[in-house]
Structure 1
């Protein structure tokens, strides 16, 4: 018996919004990336470890020097989190 594989087809727009409002990702961010992702942030010492929380579509949500804060903010906003390396 042959089984056909089901293939889901998503448009670019649908793919871009997948997980929006439900999923967020956390990643370490370098100080030189801050102004691009968080333009309103002040200049930050390059020696400080920074963590950022982003929406599934890449929208910046939180910038902090405390990794735990990203998880607290995600939980507060009822977002499931994933970490990116």
Structure 2
């Protein structure tokens, strides 16, 4: 793995850890350009995965969770897990 990718993953893991302890308002203040989350949706009768910015703005739709996660990481964003 390249050093740039290692550095990015380290930053992402750190931010992801901090994000788990943040309130909804704090996540919004973190910035929509840094954090994204996924939600399962139905589109034309097919289950898909919608990608949303931290403020809930829809950004994209992927065929599955793995594709959604890859898209988030490719755009140098941090995926947030919803509970």
Q: What TM-score, normalized to structure 2?
A: 0.57
Structure with the greater alpha carbon radius of gyration = 1
Unaligned runs of 5+ in 2: 1-24
2-structure distance, mates of 1:66, 1:15? 24
Is the 1:21–1:55 Cα contact (8 Å) retained in structure 2?
yes
Is the 1:27–1:83 Cα contact (8 Å) retained in structure 2?
no
Map of 1:30 onto structure 2 = 42
Q: What TM-score, normalized to structure 1?
A: 0.56
Unaligned runs of 5+ in 1: 1-11, 32-43
Correspondence 1:21 to 2:19: no
With CA pairs under 8 Å and 6+ residues apart, which has the higher RCO, 1 or 2? 1
Report 1:6-85 matches (<5 A): 16-31=28-43, 44=44, 46=45, 48-84=46-82
Q: Which has the higher helix share?
A: 2
